Amino acid sequence: DADVTQTPRNRITKTGKRIMLECSQTKGHDRMYWYRQDPGLGLQLIYYSFDVKDINKGEISDGYSVSRQAQAKFSLSLESAIPNQTALYFCATAWYDGYTFGSGTRLTVV
Amino acid sequence: RKEVEQDPGPFNVPEGATVAFNCTYSNSASQSFFWYRQDCRKEPKLLMSVYSSGNEDGRFTAQLNRASQYISLLIRDSKLSDSATYLCVVTFPRGSQGNLIFGKGTKLSVKP
């Protein structure tokens, strides 16, 4: 099994729908992150969590919310999806020797 | 000045060539430095950490210049399989970015 697992891998949803992206990790790391990546824009931080009770907004948190259900689980929600949220979403965990990323969720909002 | 800057490329090089990427960072309090590799539509994967004394891993050499606030990645004897985007990553003391900043990446294309 992968160290960081994201589900679903691909999702097409309609404008206005609520959608949740899930992330789980087996590395035992406290730090977890959600990023989105758009072509030519690099990785942008949405939310991050340093432990279950410590959740912080990143640079582009508007329109998103998160839930850290346990050390191993960090979910990202789009409360009312809009087309410009179409992107590749990555979850990651971190330790002092770097980050481990999940395989990504490709989300399309139509 | 952006926090982490890279030349976006693309760098188009023939097989066997030596290619170098640079990355500059703005925060002198930066603590750790990494190079990540990202293949198209895949997740970034750690290529190597960058140490103050410089470090080498096979055909790859990473260097850090704290005084000038830049890091570099040198790839010798380029292979077709080296084609990817290379991300410079810098960590900071905990702040609004969750303490890790990514550059936008430098795209490398190695041609036969």
Residue with tokens 């789009």: A78
pLDDT at B49 over 80: yes
pLDDT at B58 over 50: yes
Would you call A55 an interface residue with chain B, using a CB distance cutoff of 8 Å? no
Cβ distance B96 to A40 less than 8 Å, yes or no, reads no
| pLDDT, mean over chain A | 92
pLDDT value at position B2?
A: 67
pLDDT at B71 over 70: yes
In the stretch 16-75 of chain B, residues with CB closer than 8 A to chain A read 32, 34, 36, 41-46, 49
Q: B102: distance to nearest CA of chain A, Å?
A: 7
pLDDT value at position B38?
A: 95
Q: What are the distances in angstroms from CA A56 to CA A33, A46, A59, A90, A96? A: 10, 9, 10, 17, 19
Closest chain B CA to residue A104? B43
Cβ distance A101 to B103 less than 8 Å, yes or no, reads no
Report which listed range, A38-42, B87-91, B94-98, is most confident: B87-91
Identity at A3, one-letter amino acid code: D
Cross-strand partners of A55: A49
pLDDT digits (tens, 9 = 90+) for A5-26: 999 999 999 999 999 999 999 9
Mean pLDDT confidence for B85-106: 78
- Residues with Cβ < 8 Å from B95, sequence gap 6 or more? none
Rounding to the nearest 10 degrees, give the CA dihedral for residues A26, A30, A31, A35: 40
- State the pLDDT confidence band at B8, using cuts at 50, 70 and 90: confident
Cα separation, A21 vs A4, in Å, equals 13
Of A58, A100, A103, the CB nearest to B97: A58
**Of residues B54 and B93, more confidently modeled:** B54
- State the pLDDT confidence band at B53, using cuts at 50, 70 and 90: confident
**Contact (Cβ atoms closer than 8 angstroms) between residue A97 and residue A30:** no
Mapped onto helix, strand or coil, the DSSP state of residue B104 is coil
Nearest 5°: phi and psi at B97? -95, 15
